[in-house]
Homo-oligomer: A and B are copies of this chain.
C-alpha cells in the first residue's frame, strides 16, 4: 500500500462545539482548568447530542495540563482508545490536534474524539510570554534562548517585533496597517456577546496604546484570559445521526518553514513571514482547492503583524501586499476575505486557537453572530515560529 490522503480527508466531521464563559486572566482561577475543561466538553457533547461518556478519544494541544484520564473518570466513560497531543507553545499546536483526532477516528482507535483547551493563566502555566529574566541572569535558559537571551531577546512579543520590523523595512508596511487588524477584531467583537473586548477601537487609540516591544503596541498583542473550549469530532458515517449539521475536515496538516527553526534565524532574507508557506501548500493540495476558494479565514492573531504575514503566506494576497490588503478593508465582513468574525484572540478570547475552530464551525453551520453569507469553506491557521505550524480547511 502507499500513503493516501484520501484515507483521511473528508472522512471526519466536527459535530459539537462548546465553551465556558470567557474572562480576564485569573478570574476563573477558582474554577481550575480541570473543571473548566469538563464544562466545555460537556457543552460540546450536548451540542452534538451525545453523552460525554461516549468520548473515547482525547486530542490535545501541547502540554495541556488537564489529562485525559481525569476527564474520562469525571464523565464515567467506559473506554479510552486514543490520547495524543502535539508539540509547541503558542499557536503552533492546536490545529495539529485536528490531525491527531482525524487519524485516530479513521484508523479505528476511537469513535468520538474531543479536542479541548483549558486555561487559567494563574494556574500551572503562569503567565504566557513573560520575560525569562531570572533564567537569563542565571544562565538557566532553554537551549533556543541560550544565545539570544543574554541580549534581552526573551519574550514572544520581542521575537515577533523583529519579524514586524523586517516586514516594514522590506515592504513599507505601516503602523496604520497593523492597527487595522486590531480595529477589525474589535469591530467584529462588538456584536459577539461572548467576546471580552466589545468596545470599538480607533486607529488613534491603537497608536496611543503603550509600547510593548517596538513596533508592537499593547493593542497589537492578544489578550490574557481564562476559559475553556472544546470540539467533538467523529467519522462522517456517525455524524449524520447527530444533532447538528456536520462540518467536514476537508484537510488538516502540519508544516514548517525550516528557516524559522530558531530565533537565531533573524538574518534570513525571508524573515518577513509567518513561516506558513509549506503548511499552506499541503492544506490546499490535500483539499484540492485554491486560496480564493476560502470564504472565511480564522487566522492565529497573537500579534497583528503575524496575521498580516499569514495572509501572504496562505496566498490571500501577494508577498508584501498584506498591508494594503488589510487597509483596503478586504478582511472586513463585506471584504473578499472576512477575517476572524468572532473577534479572535485580540477581542474575543485567547485560547491558543481553539476559539477559532469554534467560530469556523459556526460560520459553516450558518449560525455565527457575524455570519459570512453562504460560507462553504473556512481556513483555520495556527501560528508559525519555532514550532511546527498547523492548520485545517473545514467545509459545509
Contacts and interface: CB of A to CB of B under 8 A. Distances in A.
Interface of A: 1-5, 7-8, 11, 32, 34, 58, 60, 63-64, 67-70, 72-73, 77-88, 96, 99-100, 102-109, 111, 124, 142-144, 235-237, 253-256, 258, 261-262, 278, 282, 386-388
30 contacts: A1-B236, A3-B107, A3-B111, A3-B235, A4-B108, A7-B107, A7-B108, A8-B107, A32-B143, A67-B87, A67-B88, A68-B87, A70-B143, A70-B262, A72-B261, A80-B254, A80-B255, A80-B256, A81-B253, A81-B254, A81-B282, A83-B88, A84-B85, A85-B87, A100-B100, A100-B103, A102-B107, A103-B103, A103-B104, A109-B254
A85 B84 CA distance: 6
A258 B143 contact: no
A176 B11 CA distance: 54
Contact of A85 (B78, B85, B256, B261): B85
A247 B81 CA distance: 24
A88 B83 CA distance: 9
Contacts of A82: 99, 254
Contacts of A388: 68-69, 80, 83
A28 to B, nearest CB: 15
A390 to B, nearest CB: 9
B107 A106 contact: yes
A393 to B, nearest CB: 15
A132 to B, nearest CB: 14
A262 B72 CA distance: 11
B282 A69 contact: no
Q: Which of A7, A34, A109, A386 has the most CB of B within 10 A?
A: A109
Classify the interface of chain A: helix, strand, loop or mixed: mixed
B386 A256 contact: no
Contacts of A80: 254-256, 258, 278, 388
A73 to B, nearest CB: 4
Contact of A255 (B5, B81, B103): B81
Which 5 A/B pairs are nearest by Cβ-Cβ distance?
A: A3-B108, A73-B261, A103-B103, A80-B256, A69-B261
Given A1-B11, A78-B258, 14 more contacts: A1-B235, A1-B236, A3-B111, A3-B235, A67-B88, A67-B387, A70-B144, A77-B258, A80-B256, A80-B258, A80-B278, A81-B282, A85-B87, A107-B107
Contacts of A73: 258, 261-262
A61 to B, nearest CB: 11
A69 B103 contact: no
A96 B77 CA distance: 20
Nearest to A79: B278
Nearest to A111: B3
A203 B388 CA distance: 50
A292 B355 CA distance: 49
Nearest to A7: B107
Nearest to A65: B142
A88 B60 CA distance: 12
Contacts of A72: 256, 258, 261
A253 B82 CA distance: 8
Contacts of A78: 258
A7 B106 contact: yes
A381 B66 CA distance: 24
